[in-house]
Every structure is written in structure tokens, then in C-alpha cells.
Amino acid sequence: GAQRPRLTFLGTGYLGATYAVCYAELGYEVIGFDVDQDKIAKLSDGQVPFHEPGLDELLRKNLASGRLRFSTSYEETAEFGDVHFICVGTPQRAGGLGADLSYIESAVTGIAPFLNRKALIVGKSTVPVGTATWVEELVAKSAPESSEIEVAWSPEFLQEGFAVEDVLRPNRIVVGVKSEWADAMLYAAHKGVFDLAATEDREVPVVTTDFATAELVKVAANAFLATKISFINAMAEVCEVSGADVTHLARAIGHDPRIGNKFLQAGLGFGGGCLPKDIRAFQARAQELGAGEALRFLHEVDLINLRRRTRVVTLAAELLGRPAGPAGPNLTGLKVAVLGATFKANTDDIRDAPSLAVAAMLNKTGARVVVFDPQGMDNARKALPDVEYADTLTAAVTDADLVCVLTEWAEFRNADPATLGELAASRKVIDGKNCLDAGQWRAAGWDYRGMGRP
């Protein structure tokens, strides 16, 4: 019952798997559900099907505790749970900017027919505003008539690479509810988070609101973060033509607490499974609702972001002394080492990775592109099969005419530029994430170029 509700998480991707494991860790009895038998077999066997620091250990611990199991059966999941969290993906629609809700639809219509008692369905996936109401309609159509199913919305804000920490210690919990019962049930479902905070002398703020606001909070937060990144990258463009240094500029404006120093890292721009698709889906939805003009700036945010990728290619051609002809730069006969394939460090996620996009663009110039990434190789090989992959950082750099650091992995930041200089054909480096120590690289004889820096 309402004291310690049993929880299920539908969809065991980066979001659902992390939640299932962490809520078992918080003391709940949990089922993680997925239609993908392979994923469920792996998770049941104690293997996380993706890279997320700390998650493997917690998975194995909680499988052993008996509080956590995984299932491919809607029936078993429905019978088990009091609160069912929908954690499936909402990718960009093929051939459009809007979100594809087909996974939400199949999760809801998959579980609803088996819900024979009072239960709560909670949406966590990032969705267009209005989706919760549509989910209510789906439930009404597909659940047995006798069942009393309610719907609620509770967006999440986890960052890959910090997912365990973000789920166990969120900086806020947002719930969109329509009844006191749903509110009480969600409070019980989050009690573990509040209890943990209390033992650490923290408080987790809760914002209780309506469906539409709860849905909008997530996309508004992501739109703000994307805008902040594109703002500093726009400043980087201005720095590039005026000889200024955007890293100093960011530090200086970030000291103003109204601005804040987080998310002001200029570089290759944002990628990943959330920010790029979310700002596009948000624009598409606002347009449908007649408020397209309000979000027109997000189109500009997107364009600034994509221009950073082209900038790396232009810079590469410039550094290599092969300025662009009418068909773009021609780098035939040159080897370019691309360090980094994931969209950021500490993940194996390559969705919309700026690094891989640049690798693909460099490949089109005729250069021999050799990619290395500490965790993302398997995913990258599938997504971009027509470049070369090296097994180690040193193999990638050996005989390279240019080194491009495009993900801020510690392995790259801590690499010794003197040693790498011995291996490379020529000491030219582009720091696409402004993550290297420029002074140290220059001292080792490298022609160093950052983003938005002289």
C-alpha cells in the first residue's frame, strides 16, 4: 500500500534502468520492465547494458538483496506494482521536429489491460505538453472497466555520467497530479529520497503542480540549459573575430551569481539524447499550440550549436594549410586523429554527439579519420562505420597530421603532450572542448587551437 508502494519502471534505458536500481537501493521493491529481452537478460544477470559510473555495483548489490528484478511481462509487472513509472524514449520523429510518442503509447496500452486494482501511472519521459491528458485517455480506453487507474507526471533531470547521484540526490522533485490520492502515492514513492536527504541534513524541494506545468518544466529547463550553452558559443564566435578569449570571458561573467558559472563552457556545443531533440520538439509543440513565435529563438540556439561543428572543420583546414575550395576543404592524404566519440565524457552515449558529427564531416574532406574513445567505440562503430577506429589513444595519434580532441575525457586531459608529440607526424591540435592545458601543449611544441580563443 501507500506506506512503501511497490514500484515499476517501464523502459530500461539510461533513465529507467538507473531509476529501477537506485529506488531498490533506497529500499523499495522494484521491477524494471522492457520489451527488449536482451536488455532484460543482461540486467537480470547483473550487467548494465550501457556505461554509467557506479551503476554496475548498485545493480548487483540490489539484485542480491532480492528487492530488484527485471521482467519482459506486462502481466507480471502490472500485478506487482502500485506505481508504474513510464521511462521509455521519446525520440525525434522521423521526418519532423516533433517527438515520437509511439513508445509511450505501447507502454501504456501494454500494461493497462492487466491493471486489475488501484494503481498510479506516472510519466517520466520528456514529452510535449498535453501528453499526460492523452495518456489518461489511453488508459481509459485500454484498462479494465473495474480498475481505478490514475495518471500523474513527474519529470526527471538526471545527467548521464552523474545519473546515480542525480537520482538518489535530486535537486528537486516535480509532480503534476490531479488528486490527493495521487499526491500521497507519489510522496510515498519518493519517501526514500526524502529520508536519505534528512540523514544528510538536506532538504529536497518539491513542486506540486498541474499536468501541463509538470510537462513543461522539463522542456523549459532543457531549453534554458541549451540557450546558456549557445549563448557562450555565440560569444566564442565573436571572440574568434576579435582576438578575445571566451574562457576568460565566461569566468568573468560567471562570477555574477545572477548569471552563474555553470554551463558556460564554450566548445563544440551540446549533443546527446536530450537537449538537441528537446528544443526541437518544444518548438514544434509551441507552433501547434499557436505560440511558435515565443520559441523562435530556440531555432537560433540550434543553429549556433550546429555552427560550432563546421567551425572545427574550417579550423582543421586552416591549420593544415588547405583552405576550402568551392566544394569545401580537401584534406586528402592527411591523417586526422579524432579523440572522443561520445557526446560528453563518462558515458558511452553517442546520440547526436558533436564529436562523431565532426568525424563524419572530416571524413568527407578526404582525410583519413582515425577515432578513439575510452567507452564509446562499440556504439560509434555502428553509427559511423566508414571511418577508422584505433584501439588506443596512442595508436590514433601515431603519424597524425592533426589531433582533434572532441570529448573531454580525463584520459585526454591527462595525456602527456610531449609523449604524444613524439608519435604525431606534426604537432597540431584542436581542442574542441577547451579542456586541455593550452600552456602545457604549447610548451611541448604543439600549435594549439581552442574554441573561441586566440
Please give the residue ranges that form the binding site for ligand UDX (CB under 6 A): 157-160, 222, 225, 229, 263-265, 267, 269-272, 274-275, 343-344
Those residues with Cβ within 8 angstroms of residue 60's Cβ, 6 or more apart along the chain or in another chain: 46
Any binding-site annotation on 126? yes
Alpha carbon dihedral 61, 65, 67, 68, in 10-degree steps, equals 40
Any binding-site annotation on 263? yes
Cα–Cα dist 239/202, whole Å: 41
Is the distance from CB of 151 to CB of 83 less than 8 angstroms?
no
Nearer to ligand UDX, 17 or 143 (CB): 17
Nearer to ligand UDX, 51 or 69 (CB): 51
3-class DSSP state of 422: helix
Cα–Cα dist 405/383, whole Å: 19
Minimal distance in Å, beta carbon 318 to ligand UDX? 22
Angle (deg, nearest 10), helices 296-319 and 211-242: 40
Any binding-site annotation on 159? yes
Residue 161 one-letter amino acid? G
Any binding-site annotation on 344? yes
Nearer to ligand UDX, 351 or 449 (CB): 351
Nearer to ligand UDX, 34 or 160 (CB): 160
Minimal distance in Å, beta carbon 360 to ligand UDX? 16
Q: Where are the alpha helices (DSSP H) in 343-387?
A: 354-364, 377-383
Locate cell 522542456: which residue?
219
Nearer to ligand UDX, 265 or 365 (CB): 265
Any binding-site annotation on 218? yes
* Residues annotated as part of the active site: 274
Minimal distance in Å, beta carbon 57 to ligand UDX? 20
Any binding-site annotation on 298? no
Minimal distance in Å, beta carbon 287 to ligand UDX? 22
Is the distance from CB of 111 to CB of 84 less than 8 angstroms?
yes
Any binding-site annotation on 124? no
Nearer to ligand UDX, 272 or 417 (CB): 272
Minimal distance in Å, beta carbon 263 to ligand UDX? 4
H or E, element range at 195: helix 180-199
Between the CA of residue 302 and those of 61, 127, 267, 282, what are the distances in Å?
A: 41, 19, 14, 12
Between the CA of residue 123 and those of 2, 154, 378, what are the distances in Å?
A: 19, 6, 31
Minimal distance in Å, beta carbon 410 to ligand UDX? 14
Is the distance from CB of 314 to CB of 19 less than 8 angstroms?
no
Enumerate the β-bridge partners of residue 32: 9, 70
Question: Which of 402, 406, 380, 404 is CA-nearest to residue 391?
Answer: 380
3-class DSSP state of 250: helix
Cell numbers standing for residue 192: 526514500
3-class DSSP state of 1: coil
Minimal distance in Å, beta carbon 431 to ligand UDX? 13
Any binding-site annotation on 277? yes
Nearer to ligand UDX, 162 or 194 (CB): 162
- Indicate the annotated binding residues: 34, 39, 90, 126, 157-160, 218, 263-267, 271, 277, 344, 351
Binding site for substrate: residue ranges? 157-160, 218, 263-267, 271, 344
Report the binding-site residues for NAD(+). 34, 39, 90, 126, 160, 277, 351
